[in-house]
Amino acid sequence: MALWGGRFSSATRDEVALYSESISFDKRLYRHDIEGSKAHVKMLAAQGIIPEATCEAIRAELDNIRRRIEAGDFAYDISMEDIHMHIESALIDVLGSEGARVHSARSRNDQVALDIRLYLRDEIDFLIGELRHFQRALVAQADANPKAILPGFTHLQHAQVVLFAHHMLAYVEMLDRDAERLADCRRRVNVMPLGSGALAGTTLPINREMVCRELGFDRVTRNSMDAVADRDFAIELVNALAIFAMHTSRLSEDLILWCSQEFNFVELDDAFCTGSSLMPQKKNPDVCELTRGKTARVYGDLTALLTMCKGLPLTYNRDLQEDKVAIFDALDTVKMILKVYPPMIETMKIKAENMRAAASDPALMATDIAEKLVELKVPFRTAHHRVGSFVKYCKERGKRLDEVTLEEMRETIPEATAEFLTLFDPEQSVAKRDVTGATGFRQVEKQIGYWKKVLA
């Protein structure tokens, strides 16, 4: 029988019970529900609201319930709707009316708000650790290939030469901001809502600060209505997950391009690829493609949460039961990405010779010529125009930029000297970019050292 059924004269229809249940997905909160209840009854006993012996009996049986759940020896029944009622009902089965004291001075509204905050706090800590592992995999590839040069792209067009290591470290920076967002979100998650009741608090003399300390929260919520009604902390988390997924989707796109025959810059290990059911020769980067698709899924979870909350009047509404579906899905999806990507990156084969061949196009050094003119005190816009005219001159004559004579170069760049003919070396182009944050060998080496120290 439902624990809330005293006011009702007829039983819930079977289809309504099935429609209303959340135990199929919120049972994963069992550990946090038990943790919260143990802290709650400890406070109730300290405040003289329940006997100390009852507190000890409830806490002991809660530990027993946790062991039963983890051993697979716990029955679930949709008539009891959610994990909170299952655990309370199991207490009452063993302890009788004394077990029913567990719910003194609380509602399922503040109880679920507590459970989800406890759960998300643990998940955030786990995710940050996994992000660091992902970063280490990218840094390891950068460290193993410090001299590999490839074309950098803007608008998916060859732009300038860059180091492969520099490209990897760009994603390390993105993941670091992802970790920062999670850590910042954790501060807003780590606020204790229990004691807010259904919406108005309680008339019983509880000590919320004691529970707060017991559960390791930073502070208690200041407004009972806000505490049970809002899920902005969860929306913020899923937003951070969506940004992370976007970053991995972009990395995936780079890898998909680099694996293609047209680029042939990297090869993913067979363990992270699949074949074609029709074409025997195919080796497809399916993990990367799936990540692009799973990114859309996380976006959908974020949109679902925002839409779910946008029209809710204060305070709690049953719509919020569905928040966990989106939250859990986003977390599960991101955890799968974080599980598969570090080993995929670690085992990726770099084809430095192919990268170097693509980076040898002298047009990639056109900006170097313009900046050489700036060194000779030519205004940059003038320099830019002259080098553009030089590129046009070479194209019209079917020549590469490094195939012209000094006299031919001077037809469009009158300031050119013999030194200008030496500016088409990719290694030299990279080496000269020796400013903080640039792709120069020395700068990238410093960045690799920095990240190895930070991530040690």
Give tens-digit pLDDT for 432-450. 999 999 999 999 999 999 9
Q: Give 375: exposed, middle or buried? Use CB within 10 Å, 0-12, 13-18, 19+.
A: exposed
Catalytic residue among 155, 166, 249, 360: 155
Instruction: Report how far Cα 243 is from the mean position of its chain's Cα atoms.
Output: 7
Confidence (pLDDT) at 6 = 60
Tell me the C-alpha distance between 150 and 360, whole Å: 9
Confidence (pLDDT) at 20 = 85
Alpha helices in 397-440 (DSSP H): 406-410, 426-431
429 carries an active-site annotation: no
Lowest mean pLDDT among 11-25, 145-159, 415-429: 11-25
What 3-state DSSP class applies to 201?
coil
Give tens-digit pLDDT for 203-229. 999 999 999 999 999 999 999 999 999
Tell me the C-alpha distance between 317 and 223, whole Å: 17
Confidence (pLDDT) at 256 = 98
Strands 266-267 and 219-220 turn out to be: unpaired
Give me 68's structure tokens: 């039963």
Confidence (pLDDT) at 13 = 77
Catalytic residue among 24, 276, 385, 389: 276
Tell me the C-alpha distance between 25 and 331, whole Å: 13
Q: Determine the average pLDDT of the residues in 262-285.
A: 94
133 carries an active-site annotation: no
Domains assigned to the chain: 12-104 (1.10.275.10), 109-190+227-357 (1.20.200.10), 360-454 (1.10.40.30)
Q: Report whether pLDDT(18) > 90.
A: no
Give tens-digit pLDDT for 32-51. 999 999 999 999 999 999 99
Using an 8 Å Cβ cutoff, are 89 and 22 in contact? no
What 3-state DSSP class applies to 149?
strand
Confidence (pLDDT) at 35 = 98
Q: 19 falls in which pLDDT band (50, 70, 90)? A: confident
Using CA atoms, how far residue 453 sits from 166, 277, 448, 449, in Å, is: 17, 45, 9, 6
Confidence (pLDDT) at 146 = 97
Question: How much is the pTM?
Answer: 0.94
